[in-house]
Structure 1
């Protein structure tokens, strides 16, 4: 039997009038199977491909989807932590006729919400005439009083809206909520499409559906055109709360796909009434890159600590004033969060007639504001019914739980703060899990954008459903074309624009992230090589090899401390323990964190590094066999090495130079630690040679040494190759030379800055070192070598601090303004 045949059979059986059954379940609309048990019109067009799908094929695709999403590093952050993004193999398919009716309603709704917001922060006619009760608006936390004045009201504050929808029992779409504060999900929708189209190519090619790419091109064009008309080369940025945001991936995807910098509040500064990219050493240096448009993903109340939440570290001090002066355009406009107020659902029909002179086309779930006498009576009456037909929410959208008596008491204490929302019997769709398709409820998030003078709805979107255990997962949304000749999204081909190439200036925070990404990448690579070399010594038998392995293990302990006495347990810990400072797992985790902050600058291939590492770590956890340690370390090393190829294709801007500078500085430090293994010699020549071979292997120079010195050239040859050989990419001399090149290429370098001077001193000291003196022994100790390595490591750390002082310092730290007035804070400062 095929998957959809089994699914249709299960639905037909579920609707039989069983004694004691819930008749309400039979009224649910199914997205795939009609009441007669046949495919709905949208799915009939795909019948040839879908009806032949077997459970084993869908299982394979489901596993490949999870792997593809992991390779792309797609995540979603929740209260419980970061979770993998989940995508169901079955898309939500909508036929052209059904979608046409929906998109008209969505376009009207976006136009209405835009008009309501312009009125609430402008003339406030709706409040004055009682179309919308003032108490339902001013009590909402998203209403920003600082910009509520007609003189600065924006006629077009909404560029993008998102609408959450569900079907009722008759299959009609109804609005569940509006998302206009910082509508998210467009990046996830594009990722879903890319994955599904590549893993179900036969199904995708058979479906004549709208592609998503033209909509993104139109979105980019709309953002550029939202700048002041006089700007010939407007600068657009995407403002993010940071890598811990719930939808950090979505924000980075949008920035990367549109080609706009992803910034945080600390990356921007208001100067002379305008918003600028904050330069290094601000405020001593003058900003040069002005920002014209901010696509914000930070809630309004957190956007300006001077005029809104004083404890915010996410916003830009002075942003509201810059908006008032018209120096920057914020998308969506500050204060848009008030439109997410569930109380407005009850008053939108009246507002539509007042502002647009039209009937509201797209109905919402029934809603009653408890601040209204009739609404309060309706909600209280519904609290006691047996079907739980009403959901209680506060004005900010938070669901309120409790017994009917508890809810009644809470509502009566503050009626105007509560809203009753009628519960819809959401439509169902097949969801794959445990080897079969299960019928689960579904909601759709649709996106609408102002393009030119009208609002246009994305022919697609993102559907959310829940699997058998209640965990959320998503579906791609396929909107079929009415005719094969219809252009994607109904949009004409993008018109050519003037070519104005530019390389945006990176903020100090982004440069710092890239510097540390380079350092942690090198740290992980070097430690993994050392784990492989150490394991090889303990894994092989032979005279002197265990002692040589112990010397290399001591180097690992110098890097990461000691946790275990058993060698295998120690090496496993170095691969698995993220919280162990200096371990390979710790370096990979910190590298991932640093790269998340600059995700918009990077190729999607970057995240395969961590996908490979995660699978290798899983193999170590599952197996206690010693060979698995080396195998997983080598696989993790392969992932880290692939990062070289990714960064090699980056544009040679300051970010690339900073990654490279961090890499070569860390390589120099790691080499100093590694060479400490050779500062003590033994009477056994074989052991000394094994130690030196292990050091060369860990430094990826063993083959080079054999070729350069035709076998074993003695202790001096090892030090010469690893310290002074300018042709060896793993040597200290080579690293210092590359540091010179990369530091010189940074914008604030002059040739005489402190980092450049410190590097020159290091190179000069190394140039004057006598390798024979370093190799000399006194009572089994190479004292000169030990002193040189300690001094060099100290100077390298000093160089790192100097780089941070020059290129990362971005002015004084932010101060919370919640408990003291601005004047008091300035007086204390």
Structure 2
């Protein structure tokens, strides 16, 4: 069958042999590119023949289902890659293809040896650049590429890193040329990305092809991660007892998902710069218990942002004084700062000679031919070759992008030649290599796409390097020449075969959604505690807002007219919960205007005039998601997905309503009902699936502070407006406390105030009663005081004590002589005291636990 003719997966005439069937579905690689799947004669290479043999004809007929399962798994695990220029939004699902890249045992042995050699060389170069600088003195490396590089850190000169190792993680980007040779195209040493994504890729793809994964004897990854952690501990100041953290720029970084993923997998504390502080030349983590020492830090922050005192003063990502901690030898930082010059594309052209000088060896894994235009001879040589080359910036932050020479016309080539002649140091030219093409699945065909492989070398602490068996495969979009995730590329897994025994080391204690390595309790940082506290408050606030909105719409749209006291009560509550703006007429005056205003403000579109003024349900759901994003490493993928889904679906439902001029109350109630069900699932995740540590206790305290304020205020306003004297108002109050079923089960059709106060205020078994909420708050604070600070026990004393509440006294009221209205003296005083105590408790918790040591702290509170 010709490649152009679509082949149905379900034709009865399909070839019996899986390999033949796969070939009939596959398009050939583009001319000039190596086909990873076929040999020069067009037959399947042995590795791919084995792969399809294990998949079988039934497996090939099932590829679309497997592809759907893969996308569902990526979505369910919340795997994202943030693209700043993506018009569809900040986050998008991680793009992963169904088929892996296969690497034979022999081929990997050559790659492994070459990568280990390169890692040793780069570590030696780093040591020389910040030590004796023999490479500069002997002219093996131009000074402009070192001292002229903006990433060269003079503050690191003469420093000796803890353990003597400069680089612990080295990533090399490899390309497979048309002749079968692997070439080094680039190297990453500051904060190499991919270690988390490739792990997720491995788990996801091996699940789709379990028989092939086992049958091909694919080498596992876990032992390499363990070697990295063992190596860091061995060289850290505290050795085996070292506390290790992972430093992230935060949830707005494009690879934040893998920061959280790696932290869970390796059992590390995920920290941001504001979580850390320096005292007496030592690094500390700010926790609920106080300052706790940090002995090793794996950084995912570029070097220039690490220390605002000695590097970029405008950085809010680093830690003031961090470099001084390094100088004192009190911290292992992986990787040591200052490696940016090693990442320059120009460096590749000088490494062969440097390798002979430092290692006494020829590089077994060659660099793609590279010329730094700062040398006159190199500039003259490459200018006539630009059409078949790649023009790269020599330095970061130059405002230049990589340009493919073959994409330029004659006039553009002349313009580039002029720029390079005027500023030669800024440009590096690299030979263009047609990337090998590996098969990808489109639903009907195996389509070849250009691929680049990122391989990782990890220091094991003994001076040796361990190469992770596999890597992150980046795929270029069909018809494009550059494999870049930021430019719409996707990824694939890489399977390395072994002739020996497969390493069975595993760091997975259970399902991938609950990855962990360490059994010890991790500390709760002040920042995590604050965000968990507000995660609880916004969850409760969103639930209360939704419940109130549903009650309001039910009563305003009902067949029976509501009483004025009920409308007045609902109107004031709706304003206080920001369901309507303050200038909207009360429901007593116009139920239609009030209802339309409430529905319009539930989640207005970003371009709506209401958006900036609306703090209704949609705002609380966004705030809930933002708080959750800050502590994503503490949430299961299912929990995070529920939060994202709730916010997205509610925004979608409200946008659909806004686009329909004829929408009514039914559509709004349906959107609120859906959000309410999803929030119930979120609450279940918080209640039943989170570890009961101090972070969870503060989340619970946040929820119950919000609940106490909301319910006490609602009951207080109900008394003021006398709405419970009306049957509908009585039922609305019980519904707002989410106690309708309980009330009628206990009291049948009674509607007297004694029964109401008994259930909503006094009942210790009702989780919506004020007594239960206060009792729970006291319990959480008592537990918190045992492991965080004794001062939390003092905070509980500021709450009302339900043990001294007496139902008969709370039910004692009298009528005022002037207007005949009932006055609930003791009850009103109690409700007011509950509100004030909850507000004071929130302020004291913030002061006690969340007051970070600098002014760059961002509070999520409102």
Scaled to the shorter chain, the TM-score interval is: 0.7 to 0.9
1:213 and 2:229 matched: no
- Alpha-carbon distance between aligned partners in 2 of 1:154 and 1:164, rounded to the nearest angstrom: 27
Q: Contact between 1:720 and 1:771, CA under 8 Å: does it hold in 2?
A: no
Deviates more, 1:741-750 or 1:325-334: 741-750
Query: Shift in Å at residue 263 of structure 1?
Result: 0.9
Residue 441 of structure 1: aligned partner: 450
Closer, same or farther in 2 for the Cα pair 1:52/1:10, shift >3 Å?
Answer: closer
Closer, same or farther in 2 for the Cα pair 1:773/1:431, shift >3 Å?
Answer: farther
- Alpha-carbon distance between aligned partners in 2 of 1:341 and 1:776, rounded to the nearest angstrom: 83
1:100 and 2:102 matched: no
Residue 32 of structure 2: aligned partner: 27
Query: Shift in Å at residue 560 of structure 1?
Result: 2.3
Q: Contact between 2:170 and 2:458, CA under 8 Å: does it hold in 1?
A: yes
Deviates more, 1:672-681 or 1:68-77: 672-681
1:76-115 mapped onto 2 (5 Å cutoff): 76-80=81-85, 81-115=90-124
Residue 825 of structure 1: aligned partner: none
1:455-604 mapped onto 2 (5 Å cutoff): 455-467=465-477, 472-483=488-499, 485-488=501-504, 502-534=520-552, 536-537=554-555, 541-542=559-560, 544=562, 552=570, 555-562=573-580, 565=593, 567=595, 570-571=598-599, 574=602, 581-604=614-637
Residue 244 of structure 2: aligned partner: 236
Residue 793 of structure 1: aligned partner: 835
1:7-18 mapped onto 2 (5 Å cutoff): 8=23
Closer, same or farther in 2 for the Cα pair 1:651/1:348, shift >3 Å?
Answer: same
Residue 811 of structure 2: aligned partner: 772
Residue 22 of structure 1: aligned partner: none
Residue 270 of structure 1: aligned partner: 278
User: Which among 237, 241, 256 is matched to residue 248 of structure 1?
Assistant: 256
Closer, same or farther in 2 for the Cα pair 1:713/1:210, shift >3 Å?
Answer: farther
Closer, same or farther in 2 for the Cα pair 1:87/1:783, shift >3 Å?
Answer: farther
- Alpha-carbon distance between aligned partners in 2 of 1:619 and 1:472, rounded to the nearest angstrom: 29
User: Which among 326, 348, 351 is matched to residue 348 of structure 1?
Assistant: 351
Closer, same or farther in 2 for the Cα pair 1:543/1:569, shift >3 Å?
Answer: closer
1:608 and 2:608 matched: no
TM-score (norm 2): 0.82
Cα deviation 1:302-350 (Å, max 9, x = unaligned): 1111111111111111111111111111001111222111110101111
- Alpha-carbon distance between aligned partners in 2 of 1:712 and 1:752, rounded to the nearest angstrom: 41
Closer, same or farther in 2 for the Cα pair 1:439/1:249, shift >3 Å?
Answer: same
Cα deviation 1:703-755 (Å, max 9, x = unaligned): 22122323434244223322232221112222222222222314554357774
1:756 and 2:796 matched: yes
Query: Shift in Å at residue 279 of structure 1?
Result: 5.2
Query: Shift in Å at residue 94 of structure 1?
Result: 2.2
1:96-175 mapped onto 2 (5 Å cutoff): 96-149=105-158, 155-175=164-184
Size of the aligned set, in residue pairs, is: 787
- Alpha-carbon distance between aligned partners in 2 of 1:541 and 1:200, rounded to the nearest angstrom: 59
Cα deviation 1:42-92 (Å, max 9, x = unaligned): 221121355647998444443433332232222222223222222222222
Q: Contact between 1:121 and 1:153, CA under 8 Å: does it hold in 2?
A: no
Residue 738 of structure 2: aligned partner: 700
Q: Contact between 1:237 and 1:294, CA under 8 Å: does it hold in 2?
A: yes
> In angstroms, what is the RMSD of aligned CA positions?
3.7
Query: Shift in Å at residue 661 of structure 1?
Result: 0.9
- Alpha-carbon distance between aligned partners in 2 of 1:683 and 1:133, rounded to the nearest angstrom: 83
Residue 394 of structure 2: aligned partner: 394
Residue 707 of structure 2: aligned partner: 667
TM-score (norm 1): 0.85
1:330 counterpart SS class: strand
Unaligned runs of 5+ in 2: 1-6, 10-18, 481-486, 510-516, 585-592, 858-862
1:723 and 2:731 matched: no
Closer, same or farther in 2 for the Cα pair 1:11/1:704, shift >3 Å?
Answer: closer
1:27 counterpart SS class: coil
Closer, same or farther in 2 for the Cα pair 1:752/1:124, shift >3 Å?
Answer: closer
Deviates more, 1:455-464 or 1:403-412: 403-412
1:710 and 2:748 matched: yes
Q: Contact between 1:719 and 1:775, CA under 8 Å: does it hold in 2?
A: no
Closer, same or farther in 2 for the Cα pair 1:571/1:359, shift >3 Å?
Answer: same
Query: Shift in Å at residue 205 of structure 1?
Result: 4.9
1:180 and 2:179 matched: no
1:442 counterpart SS class: strand
Cα deviation 1:547-580 (Å, max 9, x = unaligned): 9689657634431242794847844752676857
Closer, same or farther in 2 for the Cα pair 1:258/1:66, shift >3 Å?
Answer: same
- Alpha-carbon distance between aligned partners in 1 of 2:569 and 2:95, rounded to the nearest angstrom: 46
Query: Shift in Å at residue 214 of structure 1?
Result: 2.9
Query: Shift in Å at residue 250 of structure 1?
Result: 1.0
User: Which among 301, 310, 335 is matched to residue 298 of structure 1?
Assistant: 301
Query: Shift in Å at residue 356 of structure 1?
Result: 1.3
Query: Shift in Å at residue 240 of structure 1?
Result: 1.2
Cα deviation 1:688-711 (Å, max 9, x = unaligned): 333332333343211221223234
User: Which among 683, 690, 694 is matched to residue 728 of structure 2?
Assistant: 690
- Alpha-carbon distance between aligned partners in 2 of 1:721 and 1:31, rounded to the nearest angstrom: 71
2:132 counterpart SS class: coil
Cα deviation 1:269-296 (Å, max 9, x = unaligned): 111111111356xxxx9x6421110111
Q: Contact between 2:224 and 2:466, CA under 8 Å: does it hold in 1?
A: no
Cα deviation 1:125-146 (Å, max 9, x = unaligned): 1111111112111111221111
1:560 counterpart SS class: coil
- Alpha-carbon distance between aligned partners in 2 of 1:133 and 1:334, rounded to the nearest angstrom: 21
Q: Contact between 2:25 and 2:444, CA under 8 Å: does it hold in 1?
A: no
1:441 counterpart SS class: strand
User: Which among 66, 72, 78 is matched to residue 77 of structure 2?
Assistant: 72
Residue 378 of structure 2: aligned partner: 375
Q: Contact between 1:552 and 1:677, CA under 8 Å: does it hold in 2?
A: no
Cα deviation 1:202-248 (Å, max 9, x = unaligned): 554554322333333333322322312x5441111111111212211
Q: Contact between 1:2 and 1:53, CA under 8 Å: does it hold in 2?
A: no
Query: Shift in Å at residue 776 of structure 1?
Result: 7.2
User: Which among 189, 193, 202 is matched to residue 202 of structure 2?
Assistant: 193
Query: Shift in Å at residue 586 of structure 1?
Result: 2.4
1:429 and 2:438 matched: yes
2:733 counterpart SS class: helix
- Alpha-carbon distance between aligned partners in 1 of 2:259 and 2:265, rounded to the nearest angstrom: 10
Query: Shift in Å at residue 628 of structure 1?
Result: 5.6
Deviates more, 1:806-815 or 1:540-549: 540-549
Residue 588 of structure 2: aligned partner: none
Query: Shift in Å at residue 510 of structure 1?
Result: 1.7
1:336 and 2:300 matched: no
- Alpha-carbon distance between aligned partners in 1 of 2:478 and 2:820, rounded to the nearest angstrom: 70
- Alpha-carbon distance between aligned partners in 2 of 1:538 and 1:196, rounded to the nearest angstrom: 53
- Alpha-carbon distance between aligned partners in 2 of 1:157 and 1:758, rounded to the nearest angstrom: 53
Unaligned runs of 5+ in 1: 16-24, 494-498, 816-829
1:759 counterpart SS class: coil
Residue 651 of structure 1: aligned partner: 691
Residue 48 of structure 1: aligned partner: 53
Query: Shift in Å at residue 120 of structure 1?
Result: 1.0
Deviates more, 1:260-269 or 1:535-544: 535-544
- Alpha-carbon distance between aligned partners in 1 of 2:36 and 2:601, rounded to the nearest angstrom: 49
- Alpha-carbon distance between aligned partners in 2 of 1:35 and 1:705, rounded to the nearest angstrom: 79
